Structure 1
Amino acid sequence: MAQVFLYGSLCHLPLLAAVLGRVPVVSAAMCPDHAVYWAKEHDFPLIVGQAGARARGLLLADLTDADVARLAYYEGPFGFSAQPLAVEGAEGEGTGGESAGLAQVFVPDAGLWVPGDVWNLDDWVARWGAVHVATAADVMALYPAPIAATRRAPMLVRGAARVRAGGGLPAGAVQVAAQRTPYANFFAVEEYDLSYRRFDGGQSAVVTRAAFVSADAVTVLPYDAVRDRVLIVEQFRMGPFARGDGQPWQMEAIAGRIDPGEGPQDAARREAVEEAGLTLGALLPIGNYYPSPGAKTEFIYSFVALTDLPDGTAIVGGAPEEAEDIKGHLLSFEDFADLVARGGVTTAPLLLSYYWLERARGRLRDGAKA
Structure 2
Amino acid sequence: MPEQTVAPFQFGAEDVEVESRETLYKGFFGMERLRLRHARFAGGYTDVFDREIFQRGDATCVLPYDPVRDEVVLLEQFRPGALGRNQSPWLLELVAGMDEPGETPEDVANREAEEEAGLTFRRLEKICHYLVSPGGTTEMVSLFCGHVDASGAGGLHGIEAEHEDIRAHVMAADEALRMITDGRINNAAAIIALQWLAMQRPRLKQEWS
TM-score (norm 2): 0.90
Residue 198 of structure 1 aligns with which residue? 40
Instruction: State the percentage of identical aligned residues.
Output: 38
- Could you tell me which of 104, 108, 116 is aligned with 1:267? 108
Matching residue's letter, 1:307:
V
Given the alignment, which residue of 101, 124, 136 partners 1:295?
136
Does 1:333 find its partner at 2:177?
A: no
Aligned-partner residue type, residue 331 of structure 1: M
Q: Give the Å deviation of 1:245.
A: 4.4
Match of 1:227 in 2: 69
- The 1:331–1:179 alpha-carbon spacing in structure 2 relative to 1, beyond 3 Å, is same
Instruction: Confirm whether residue 218 of structure 1 aligns to residue 60 of structure 2.
Output: yes
Q: Deviations over 1:174-210 (max 9, x none)?
A: 2222222222211111111111122233121000111
The superposition leaves residues 75-105 of structure 1 with CA deviations (integer Å, 9 ceiling, x where unpaired) of xxxxxxxxxxxxxxxxxxxxxxxxxxxxxxx
CA distance in 2, matches of 1:169, 1:246: 40
1:355 to partner: Cα distance: 0.6
Residue 351 (structure 1) aligned with residue 195 (structure 2): no
In structure 2, what is the Cα distance between the partners aligned to 1:219 and 1:330? Answer: 17
Give the TM-score taking structure 1 as reference length: 0.52
Counterpart for residue 126 of structure 2: 285
1:164 paired residue number: none
**Distance across 1 between alignment mates of 2:65 and 2:102:** 27
1:236 aligns with 2:78: yes
Which amino acid in the other structure matches residue 169 of structure 1?
A
- Taking the aligned partners of 1:244 and 1:355, their CA distance within structure 2 comes to 24
Displacement over 2 Å in runs of 4+: 243-246, 366-369
Q: In structure 1, what is the equivalent of residue 98 of structure 2? A: 257
Cα distance in 2 for residues equivalent to 1:338 and 1:195? 44
Post-superposition shift, 1:288?
A: 0.3
State the distance in 1 between where 2:174 and 2:13 align.
45
State the secondary structure of the residue aligned to 2:205: helix
Q: Return the alpha-carbon distance in structure 2 between the equivalents of residues 178 and 169 of structure 1.
A: 15
Give the secondary-structure state (helix, strand or coil) at the position aligned to 2:13: coil
Tell me the amino acid that sits aligned with residue 197 of structure 1.
A
Work out the CA distance in 2 between the residues paired with 1:268 and 1:201: 44
Find the counterpart in structure 1 of residue 159 from structure 2: 319
Query: SS where residue 120 of structure 2 aligns?
Result: coil
2:207 paired with 1:207: no
| Aligned residue runs from structure 1 range 1-370, under 5 A | 169-170=13-14, 173-241=15-83, 243-310=84-151, 312-369=152-209
C-alpha distance in 2 between matches for 1:244 and 1:182: 28
Rg larger for: 1
Q: Alpha-carbon deviation of 1:225?
A: 0.3
Whole-Å separation in 2 of the counterparts to 1:230 and 1:316: 16
How far is the alpha carbon of 1:169 from its aligned partner? 3.1
Number of residue pairs matched by the alignment:
198
Instruction: For residue 192 of structure 2, give the secondary structure of its aligned residue in structure 1.
Output: helix
TM-aligned CA deviation for residue 320 of structure 1: 2.0
Give the structure 2 partner of residue 102 of structure 1. none
Which of 1 and 2 has higher RCO (CA within 8 Å, sep 6+)? 2
- The whole-number CA distance in structure 2 between the counterparts of 1:245 and 1:175 is 41
2:191 maps to a residue whose letter is L
Deviation digits for residues 307-366 of structure 1 (CA, Å, limit 9, x no counterpart): 1110x4112111222111111000011221222222110100000011100011011112
Bigger share in helix: 1
Report how far residue 368 of structure 1 moved: 4.0
